[in-house]
Each structure stands twice: as structure tokens, then as C-alpha cells.
Structure 1
Amino acid sequence: MTLALRLRAALEEGHRRADLLPLSDVRDPRIEGEIALAPAAVLVAITDRPEPGLILTERSTALRKHAGQVAFPGGRVDPSDADEVAGALREAQEEIALPPDQVDLIGISDRYQTFTGFDIVPVLGVIPPDLPLRAQESEVASWFEVPLAFALDPANRIRREVEYAGAMRAYYEIHWEGRRIWGITAAILANLSRRLGHDRLAA
């Protein structure tokens, strides 16, 4: 069975098996009450290798928001995009020159609502290994590939707490080769790990 078929089957089974994740896991813990949310999407691009990898970016330090942070390729869904999938593919092409026709779409994982007002849809896709990706310097400082098994292994996920507005707020972080994967990106990976059955296997 191909990687794409295995992932598609695991994701479909995860959506059938699991109830909705706790509210604290699908929205930024700083959100209180209802807020206006704009549609956004990220591409969870998985490389088709014997040991699959995951493509992540390091945002430019010149950006006004989330400068220097590790993120998935993605961003706001434009009115010209047909849907969130189209938005994720367009953003990945703009940010790292990933051709949309090279993405074998798998499905979507759990949405994540951010404190900055975005409703993010993670779009999963399998891509060929070693594509000539290129970072768009105005937004992306660099891109890198982390082993998918490492990124999804709950043993590599650290739960932290920080005080914000008088209350303790929890978040995840993952460390790989000197890079810190945290916040929204780590939360999406934690949810994907559960959907694909990694947390269940570790229990």
C-alpha cells in the first residue's frame, strides 16, 4: 500500500473513531468567548520516502507577526480561492515554490482557531521527495524537513504552561535539531497525531 493510501485510511479511521477534541486543543487557550474568525489554511506536506518527512518553514525575522517562528506553509484563504484546500496549495506555491500538481491530497485534519482571529484548516498531502523547493525571502527565511515519525511521536511533545492575563495557559513544543516547533504548529501536529492513532499507540 502506498504512503498516500496508508495516510488516507488512517485519517479516515481517526475521524470515525475519535469524538471532537477538547475545546482547549482546537483553539488558542487565550480566546475567551466568541471572536470573529477569518478563514486560513496550511499545507501539511509529507514527503514520500521509506521514512516520510514533513516540510516546515522558518518565518522571516522581518515579519510583523510570528517572526522567526516555525510554521507550515500557509496563510489566509483569499476570496479568489475555491476553498481552504486551494488556499493551502496557493500559499505553499507562493512561500516555497511547491507546485500544486505535485501534491497528492489526503484530506483535512482538525481546524485550529487562533487568538489572532484565524480559523486554520490543516490540509494533508503527500509530495515527491527532493523537490527543488525555494523559500520566498519576503515571508520565509528557510524551509526544512523533519522526520514525520518524530514530529508525531507524543514522547517528543512537551507540554508547557505560561501565565497570561492572570491565568495559566498550556501549549506544546517540539525540539528538533536546534529548532523549536511550538504554538499553533505544535498544536496542529498534536491533533494530527491523535487522528492518525499515534497517541493511542503510545498509551
Structure 2
Amino acid sequence: MTRTHQSGNNTWHADGPAPRTEGLPGWLEPVVEAVRTVRPEQLSRFLPPEDGAGRQSAVLVLFGEGEQGPELLLTERAGSLRSHAGQPSFPGGALDPPDGDPHGAGPLRAALREAEEETGLDPGGVQLFGVLPKLYIPVSGFVVTPVLGWWRTPTPVRPVDPGETARVFTVPVADLTDPGNRAMAVHPSGYTGPAFLVDSALVWGFTAGVIDRILHHAGWERPWDRDRRVPLDRRA
């Protein structure tokens, strides 16, 4: 029998944290349902290699509620980083050996740990409620598990290490669903994918792809002009 106990806002099995959906705000119900039913191929055309290659990592897709309603927590990566420099992203990073099984509680541990290290948030105020299928970032070789959370008790956030994180900010979901803030990003390499022009930031790449699919499968997406193009610099 697997033993469980409550700690803060999360359920913890013997091998680590586990998502729970009790007590979430009603507006998150479409997201919870999407997490239950979505298939990997419905999220991205880039799925983990069948040979198991790739570095295991996790990101925290953290929903909160601010002055403008539901919102998402994002960071802007430092411009000096070797991969994805300067890009807005979810807090997250690679799994460490102490995180444990990458197919079990490891990604949940890593998502909370990395979010705390990058933004200073208190993990005790976060209720994890779902895990999306693992996805792949070919350019960096990361296999990423998106872990979804509800920021039940918000705490102050900031860039803890400016060498890693340039900015920590929240974006209202209303801004993300606004058709006027949506476009397709086009990179000189040939990459084309969804983008969001919000809060003086251009959100594109993996992060924008995950947001785009969550909005779509939660039924929050509004019709937008997919012919609108935003060119990216080759250094992006």
C-alpha cells in the first residue's frame, strides 16, 4: 500500500509530491480536464526520442490570480546563458539525482525546486494539480515535463540570480487570449510557431507552444490571425 500525507498544499506519496485537484478555483476546471485527456501528439510535433536520449527537465506552469484575473508566472532568462538566452520562459530546469525518478515524482520536485531557486517563491504556497506529457526541445536536447500548479498563497518573487534570470513577471490570461497579442514567430532557421506579444515581451518557442496548447484544449482560445508574422533575429 502506498502511504500518503498532506504537506502544505500538496499531497506527498512515499516517493515524493503528487498532484491534487481539491479546492482549485472553478476557472481552472477546463485546464484540469485538458490535463486529464490531452495526448502528447496534441501538444507538440516534437516528442522525446524513442531511444531515451535527452536531458530530463521540468518546468512549472503556475497559475495565479491577480488584479486582472487569472495569470501565469513567467521569467526572462539572462542574456548570457548558453541556451535560450533572453527568452521568456516558465521557471524550471534539469532534474538532479536527488529529484528521483524522471517518470515519477522527480519532475514535480524539480519544478518546485527550480521555481524557488529562480524566483524566490515559497513552494508551500503552490498546489500542484497536473502533469502534461513529456515534450522535447530539439535545439537543446531537453526532455521537458510541464508541471501545472495553482498559486494558492502568492509570495513575493524576484530574480534570485541575475546570471540566470533577468526578470520575473506575471501575464494575465486575458492578455494571452487577446487576438491582438497573438502572432506566428518566424526564425531564420525555418522554425515557425505561436507567439504572444505581452508585457513588453515576445513569448515564443517552447513556452509559447505550451501556452498555446493549454489555451486551445481548455477552450480559452479566441480566433486570431495566424497569418500575422513576427520575424525573429538569428541570435534568438
Q: State the TM bucket, normalised to the shorter chain.
A: 0.7 to 0.9
Q: What is the letter of the counterpart of residue 63 of structure 2? A: I
Correspondence for 1:197: 219
- Taking structure 1 as reference, are residues 13 and 46 closer, same or farther at Cα in structure 2, changes over 3 Å only? closer
Does residue 1:119 correspond to 2:143, yes or no? yes
Correspondence for 1:13: 33
Correspondence for 2:17: none
Q: Distance in 2 between matches of 1:194 and 1:109?
A: 14
Correspondence for 1:62: 80
Aligned CA-pair RMSD: 3.0
Query: Per-residue CA shift, 1:25-53, capped at 9, x if unaligned?
Result: 2428xx99977222111111122346022
Q: Distance in 2 between matches of 1:109 and 1:154?
A: 25
Does residue 1:185 correspond to 2:207, yes or no? yes
Q: Distance in 2 between matches of 1:19 and 1:152?
A: 22
1:1-203 matches, cutoff 5 A? 4-6=24-26, 9-15=29-35, 18-22=38-42, 25-27=44-46, 36-49=53-66, 51-82=69-100, 83-115=106-138, 116-128=140-152, 131-136=155-160, 137-153=162-178, 156-164=181-189, 168-199=190-221, 202=223
Query: Per-residue CA shift, 1:90-125, capped at 9, x if unaligned?
Result: 000100111111101121234321011111111111
Q: Distance in 2 between matches of 1:71 and 1:123?
A: 13
- 8 A contact 1:81–1:87 mirrored in 2: yes
C-alpha deviation, 1:143, in angstroms: 0.6
TM-score (norm 1): 0.81
Runs of 5+ consecutive residues of structure 1 not aligned to the other structure: none
- Taking structure 1 as reference, are residues 65 and 84 closer, same or farther at Cα in structure 2, changes over 3 Å only? same
- 8 A contact 1:160–1:173 mirrored in 2: yes
- Find runs of 4+ consecutive structure 1 residues off by over 6 angstroms: 31-35
Q: Distance in 1 between matches of 2:25 and 2:114?
A: 25
Higher helix share: 1
Identity of aligned residues (%): 32
Q: Distance in 1 between matches of 2:177 and 2:143?
A: 22
- Residue 79 of structure 2 aligns to a residue in which SS? coil
Tell which deviates more after alignment, 125-134 or 100-109. Answer: 125-134
- 8 A contact 1:74–1:91 mirrored in 2: yes
Q: Distance in 1 between matches of 2:87 and 2:55?
A: 21
- Taking structure 1 as reference, are residues 138 and 156 closer, same or farther at Cα in structure 2, changes over 3 Å only? same
Runs of 5+ consecutive residues of structure 2 not aligned to the other structure: 1-21, 101-105, 225-236
C-alpha deviation, 1:20, in angstroms: 4.5
